[in-house]
Amino acid sequence: MVDHTTRAFDADLHELARKIAEMGRLDAEQITNAIDAWARRDLALAHRVIATDDQVDDLQQQIEEKVITTIARRQPMAVDLREIVGALRISNDLERVGDLAENVAKRMLLVTDVFRISEVLFQLEHMGDVVRDQLTRVLLSYERRDVALALEVWHKDQEVDALNNALFRELLTYMMEDARNITFCTHMLFCAKNIERIGDHATNIAETVYYIVEGHKLEERRPKADVTSRAVLPLEPH
């Protein structure tokens, strides 16, 4: 009976891990496509990002339901319970990543005919590449239960903040130099902030991996170097 219960619980964990991996794959695809849509002025690609978010939301809902069912049936304790709670936390972060990538794509649909600054788009693409790599690596740390890799991702969040800060300052300069740049640069400010927030969610996942493996939360203060949060900007719609 014990062996059967253990196998059943392992099967539940395997299913949760599979769904989380699929969410991560879709999120990475959304990040890439959202930025490519900007670079190519590709409306169809932007719409694909928006449509994909429904798949991410559905997977998050499936994970939530599976977690509730597993807790009710298996009544896990200690490390087993951390595994279940950790899977739920990670799925919530991945759901938000999908929303943020969708926001980037939605903004592209609003400015299809405005003048664009190629250097800004290049920097946004670089920032997106870094964040996507962070997300991929932190999900690998979850798959392997690799605390060292999770901490690498956690510490690298400062690099994302630095890229966001640099792009923020450059966009302000463009807007002050020529009022015709204001519309494009304002949208870029929001896009960069959304991408920076994706990095924050990758950092959240790193902390969850640490919690799953070590049994307690990471006590070290999170590295944070984002200065753009002090800027007064309208709230981004969900």
pLDDT (tens place) for every residue of the chain, 238 residues total: 456 567 888 899 999 999 999 999 999 999 999 999 999 999 999 999 999 999 999 999 999 999 999 999 888 888 889 999 999 999 999 999 999 999 999 999 988 777 788 999 999 999 999 999 999 999 999 999 999 999 999 999 999 999 999 999 999 999 999 999 999 999 999 999 999 999 999 999 999 999 999 999 998 777 666 667 655 454 454 4
Q: What is the pLDDT of residue 225?
A: 67
Q: How far lies 105's CA from each of 81, 160, 172, 215, in Å? A: 37, 20, 22, 38
**Residue 96 domain boundaries:** 2-230
Residue at token pair 């929001």: 190
- For residue 220, tell me if it sits in a domain: yes
- For residue 73, tell me if it sits in a domain: yes
Domain count, the chain: 1
- For residue 9, tell me if it sits in a domain: yes
- For residue 161, tell me if it sits in a domain: yes
Q: What is the pLDDT of residue 235?
A: 47
- For residue 238, tell me if it sits in a domain: no
- For residue 237, tell me if it sits in a domain: no
Residue 144 DSSP symbol: H
- For residue 235, tell me if it sits in a domain: no
pTM score, whole prediction: 0.90
Q: Could you list the beta-strand ranges (E) of the chain.
A: none
- For residue 236, tell me if it sits in a domain: no
Q: Residue 136 in contact with residue 199, Cβ under 8 Å?
A: no
Q: Which of 219, 32, 19, 58 is nearest to 139 (CA)?
A: 19
CATH number of the CATH domain containing 39: 1.20.58.220
